[in-house]
Amino acid sequence: MKIFEIHSKTALSKSRLAGLKYALNPYRGCAHGCGYCYAPSVLHVSSSDWGEWVGIKINLPNLLPKELREKERGTIGIGTVTDPYQPAEKDYKITRYSLEQILKADWPIVIQTKSDLVLRDLDLLRKFSRVEVIMTITTLNDAHRALLEANSPSIEKRLFSLKKLSSGGIPTCIFLGPAYPSISIGEIPRMVERFVETGAAELIVDRLNLKSGIQEKINFALRNNKDLQNLFERNSNAGYYTLLFKEIEKECKGKIKFTDSTRGKYEE
């Protein structure tokens, strides 16, 4: 893993995501290196070595005070094209230092992560007047997770983190995105049950995006599991996801709010 420090010109950038006015990404690149990640195409960088390098935006916390004073107030999405709690955060604490600055200005934040390291900052998160943590969970099958998200925390750690955050008074949400094409209809009741047990208020779903060479990366990651590879190839289509999401929505009724990612989510 190549880790290097970089200086960013700005901390906050405009966000195109529904309900988010700004995006804040403490790192460039992501050590998780998930096989389905389309962030390289967003950042216009090569996907061939994605997950092998991380740029530390070392000056980000110092840029924030001025920008928070001068920009129009709005919701900040933390971790839109990187995981703000990837391994480098343990040492560099760019995310934590940034949270400290945002807290002083009391701007609303939405954090998206796959990491249980977010629990370290529970003390800060409790002080925000508006905060939400979105935990990405793509499958409950940790063996499948390990093939495409080998460098990310286990599913159980993510579920545990959600429980701790929810019980600590932090609003939480689960992002089932991309939902693995290996999820069967029969798995849905137990999957939704596990999600509800975390105390999360909402489940957002999204489908697999196969642009920018992602299919090739997935095939390589699954090369030693032909059955799973065949499932991904067969089910990575609109028909599968339409049926899957319809059944998930039915199971969620009366238990947890269901949102299809294409409908938008946040409102100012």
Q: Is the pLDDT of residue 262 over 90?
A: no
User: For the segment 128-145, what is each residue's pLDDT rounded down to a tens digit?
Assistant: 999 999 999 999 999 999
Q: Which of 24, 18, 107, 116 is nearest to 70 (CA)?
A: 107
Domains of the chain: 2-257 (3.80.30.30)
What pLDDT is stored for residue 6 in this prediction? 98
What pLDDT is stored for residue 47 in this prediction? 80
Which parts of the chain are beta strand (E)? 2-6, 13-14, 22-24, 27-28, 53-57, 76-78, 109-113, 131-136, 172-176, 202-205, 257-260
User: For the segment 69-127, what is each residue's pLDDT rounded down to a tens digit?
Assistant: 999 999 999 999 999 999 999 999 999 999 999 999 999 999 999 999 999 999 999 99
**Summary mean pLDDT of the chain:** 94
What pLDDT is stored for residue 265 in this prediction? 39
Show contacts of 164-169: CB within 8 Å, 24+ apart: 164/119, 164/122, 165/118, 165/119, 165/122, 165/125, 165/133, 166/198, 166/199, 166/200, 167/199, 168/122, 168/125, 168/126, 169/126
User: For the segment 17-66, what is each residue's pLDDT rounded down to a tens digit?
Assistant: 988 999 999 999 999 999 999 888 888 888 888 889 999 999 999 999 99
User: For the segment 156-192, what is each residue's pLDDT rounded down to a tens digit?
Assistant: 999 999 999 999 999 999 999 999 999 999 999 999 9
Bond from prior residue into 178 cis (ω within 30 degrees of 0): yes
How big is the chain, counted in residues?
Answer: 268
What pLDDT is stored for residue 55 in this prediction? 98
- 263 confidence band (pLDDT: 50, 70, 90): low
Q: Give the alpha-carbon dihedral of 246, 247, 252, 254, to 10 degrees.
A: 90
What pLDDT is stored for residue 267 in this prediction? 35
